[in-house]
Amino acid sequence: MTSTLTELELLTELEPVVEANLNRHQSMAKEWHPHDYVPWDEGTNFAAMGGVDWDEEQSRLDPTAKAAMITNLLTEDNLPSYHREIATNFSLDGPWGTWVGTWTAEENRHAIVMRDYLVVTRGVDPVALERARMQHMITGYNPQTDKDILHSLAYVTFQELATRVSHRNTGKACGDPVADRMLQRVAADENLHMVFYRNLCESALELAPDQAVGAIADILEAFEMPGHGMPDFRRNAVLIAKNGIYDLGQHLNEVVKPVLRKWNIMDRTDYTGEGERQRDRIGAFIDDLEGKVERFEETRHRALERDRKRRESLAG
């Protein structure tokens, strides 16, 4: 086997791995239904049906929980764009195609249950939410890195784990056991998806270590969450990071480092000179990110302290 493989060679060589991991996924995934996680008895009609339209006072969610729920839901809403990307970069034939369909169907449940919860509980303005959905889906999703199988596998591995962390912390931030249970269920799906992609990427590293580690380095340096193009993303991301839903330290310590350790990126001995250069590039990236995390933590501490003093001043 040559050290540089074509897209077709990678798809062919990885197909047995896809099949094995698809079987593993299907044996571990638990069937669940979105309607079982929504408190329907809290629902009331809106004005078009003779009821009352949404008002800010109806929501039990604080600004951080609202920002996180909206960001997570709009991310899930853009599923058609993600389906197009993975279908293009993988394949719709054989086990690849079965996985693409399975992943798409499972991800769609996340958007269904989160929207139903927010509308029934009146957690956010449903009109603003729908307008944002329309805008975000019309814009679509365009990855910034090269569109090929290795970059795709690397990206979705980190992205699925990041999404799991974000969903789990959002559930806690909502202060509602119903939301927490719902997002625990969603996060469990995301973890299984991450393991599937992580295992495929690990096999790709065995097949073509130099190519794979180069793709991983590219993805780490350019990584953005898939919702980065949505309305108000930057503002919401700052609020989410400030309050510990998903921040730079979590990205480094709960997502990037564990995956790199699982792949044994820094200690592999099968690289050529080019692979070693890409490995060192990853090492330099980690060092730089650690410095950014330290600076972020200091900035956040000062910001939270200012907020605390402001609240005390208003209360006094």
User: Cα separation of 210 and 212, whole Å?
Assistant: 6
Residue 145 confidence (pLDDT):
62
The residues near 247 (Cβ < 8 Å, ≥ 6 apart) are 240, 241, 296, 300
pLDDT of 190 reads 96
CA distances (Å), origin 228, targets 12, 57, 77, 234, 236: 33, 29, 13, 7, 10
* Spatial CA neighbour of 114 closest among 190, 195, 220, 223: 190
Which pLDDT score, from 0 to 100, does residue 230 have? 83
| Block residue for tokens 């250069």 | 277
pLDDT of residue 146: 59
Tens place of pLDDT per residue across the chain (316 aa): 446 899 999 999 999 999 999 999 999 999 999 999 999 999 999 999 999 999 999 999 999 999 999 999 998 888 777 777 787 778 788 999 999 999 999 999 999 999 999 999 999 999 999 999 999 888 877 776 657 899 999 999 999 999 999 999 999 999 999 999 999 999 999 999 999 999 999 999 999 999 999 999 999 999 988 777 788 888 999 899 999 999 999 999 999 999 999 999 999 999 999 999 999 999 999 999 999 999 989 888 888 878 777 777 777 6
- Rounded Cα distance between 75 and 240, Å, is 14
**Predicted pLDDT at 2:** 43
- pLDDT tens profile 89-141: 787 889 999 999 999 999 999 999 999 999 999 999 999 999 999 998 888 77
How crowded is residue 4: how many other Cβ atoms within 10 Å of its Cβ?
10
Residue found under tokens 């638990």 = 30
Q: Are 104 and 22 in contact (CB under 8 A)?
A: no
